Amino acid sequence: MAVDATVAPAAARRSLGELLGVVFGPVGQLLAFIVGSAASLSLIVILLALVFSPGQPDIMQRVVIILPQVIIDGLVRGFLFATIALGYTMVYGVLEFINFAHGEVFMIGGVVGATVSFLLVSAGAMDSIPPLVFVLLVVLVAMAFCGMLAVTVERIAYRPLRGAPRLVPLISAIGMSLILQDFARLVMTNSPLGFNARYQTPDFGQPIQLFSMQVGERSVPVILGPRDLIFIITATLMLIVLNYIVNVTKLGKAIRATAQDMPTASLMGIDVNRIIALTFLIGGALGGAAGALFGLRIGTVNPYMGLIPGLKAFTAAVLGGIGNITGAMVGGVVLGFLEAFVAAYLSIFTGGNFSGAAYADIAAFSILILLLIFRPSGLLGEATTQKV
């Protein structure tokens, strides 16, 4: 693994401009990928509609009407995968190990969020609390809880296995994921939450109408739900903060050093165990925040909701180039768009024979398989020199 240029000693004194570049550069990259993938997928869909239009004259209209909403949906899905993928990619960067239980950390984040909201409702404080304070409260509690949980899991199930053959910690992680699922179920079904816990929120207000689109005679409004907006903003903020931590602070330098070469890092006076625990803490906190926000968006949480998003987030991490933080975000967004487009358009183009929602999962995994065959290093593969 080549050494990242920014790790050079001179990096200690970086100008403000450089610093901003390091912290906000990835956001620009992410934006480029968002625009790029949305545009190219829209183009593909419109071209397909053109191909089909001789047979079905109204297909173009049907495609165009839902297009903006599909893009927004893709963006939200993408940010969901991206925030979970960050946890996978950080742990993979340091330990080269797939933290299988990360999807469950995400799920527990949702459950913690639902618990907080339940407590607020039963205290009668739900109506008086401002929505933004509620979001902040839920996210922070979920982050704290899930960060601690991830560290505990690492301490119990992974640390004793460090240095064992590769399969051993992976199997332990799978076991941990099953334990967390059923433990959450045990707690939820024996508490007032129930298996499908309701996730009540204060009123976030009306959806925002971005603009209205003129299709033929009809005017189609394009709306963005406030919850979706919260999700996107929070995820972007988390990316920026994470980039700051990893690329600017001393802790980040220690994490990068550990990821590059663990024995050497420990020779340089870095407490490797502490750094690994911190990596789990950060990854777990991000996963927990994603879970709390996801539950808030869909309104219910259940103990088995972590598996599939977890798998897709892993796909996203691989798609972006595993071990690369910006890659995880980019991969998540690209995967989210792909999935949203498949879910929305598959049934239109196959005349309703294949339900898009059901085959969207298959699309995600097919992408994973194809990607691993043709480009195992991921979209930002070249940039994987920086491993965290």
Partner 1 sequence: MTTGASSQSLWQRVTAPLSSGPTAYAFLAFYVLICSFLLLTNPRTELSTDIVFVLFMLSMLVAYRARVATWFKVVLGVIALGIVLPYFGTLNPFYIDVATQAGIFTALALGLNVVVGFAGLLDLGYVAFFAVGAYAWGIFSTTQISNINPAWGPVDPVMFYPFLIIGLILGLITGVLLGLPVLRLRGDYLAIVTLGFGEVIRVVANNLDRPINITNGSQGIRDIERPPLVLVDLVRNLGVVADDNRLYQLFFYYLVLIIVLLTVIVVARLKNSRIGRAWEAIREDEVAAVAQGIPRVRMKLLAFAIGASFAGVMGVVFASKQLFINPPTFDLLRSINILAMVILGGMGSIPGAMLGAIIVTMLDLQILPRLASVLREAQAAGAPIPRQFDPTQYQRLFFGLLLVIMMIFRPEGLWPDERRREEQHEVEITDEELEADKLTKPTGAETGR
Binding site for partner 1 (CB under 8 A): 97-98, 156-157, 160-161, 163-172, 174-183, 185-186, 189-190, 307-308, 311, 314-315, 318, 350, 353-355, 358-359, 361-362, 364-366, 368-369, 372-373, 376
Query: CA dist 50 to 42, 44, 54, 109, Å?
Result: 12, 10, 8, 44
Nearest approach, Cβ of 386 to partner 1 (angstroms)?
A: 20
Is the CB of 34 or the CB of 368 nearer to partner 1?
368
Helix (H) or strand (E) holding 186: helix 167-189
DSSP assigned state of 110: H
Nearest approach, Cβ of 156 to partner 1 (angstroms)?
A: 8
CB distance 102 to 317 below 8 Å:
no
Helix (H) or strand (E) holding 145: helix 131-153
Nearest approach, Cβ of 358 to partner 1 (angstroms)?
A: 4
- Whole-angstrom distance, CA of residue 15 vs CA of residue 60: 52
3-state secondary structure at position 211: strand
CB distance 181 to 306 below 8 Å:
yes
Nearest approach, Cβ of 167 to partner 1 (angstroms)?
A: 5
DSSP string, 302-340: -TTTTHHHHHHHHHHHHHH-TT-HHHHHHHHHHHHHHHH
Is the CB of 119 or the CB of 174 nearer to partner 1?
174
Q: Which residues lie across from 211 on neighbouring strands?
A: 222
Nearest residue to 78 (alpha-carbon basis) of 224, 236, 277, 204: 236
Is the CB of 110 or the CB of 169 nearer to partner 1?
169
Is the CB of 139 or the CB of 380 nearer to partner 1?
380
- For residue 314, what are its two tokens? 């892993």
Is the CB of 24 or the CB of 359 nearer to partner 1?
359
Is the CB of 221 or the CB of 376 nearer to partner 1?
376
Nearest approach, Cβ of 287 to partner 1 (angstroms)?
A: 17
Nearest approach, Cβ of 84 to partner 1 (angstroms)?
A: 14
Helix (H) or strand (E) holding 350: none
3-state secondary structure at position 197: strand
Is the CB of 216 or the CB of 352 nearer to partner 1?
352
Is the CB of 160 or the CB of 221 nearer to partner 1?
160
Cα dihedral 95, 100, 102, 103, rounded to 10, equals 160
Nearest approach, Cβ of 306 to partner 1 (angstroms)?
A: 12
Nearest approach, Cβ of 164 to partner 1 (angstroms)?
A: 7
Look up residue 145 and give its amino acid: F
- Whole-angstrom distance, CA of residue 43 vs CA of residue 36: 11
Is the CB of 143 or the CB of 335 nearer to partner 1?
335
Nearest approach, Cβ of 98 to partner 1 (angstroms)?
A: 5
- Whole-angstrom distance, CA of residue 56 vs CA of residue 79: 34
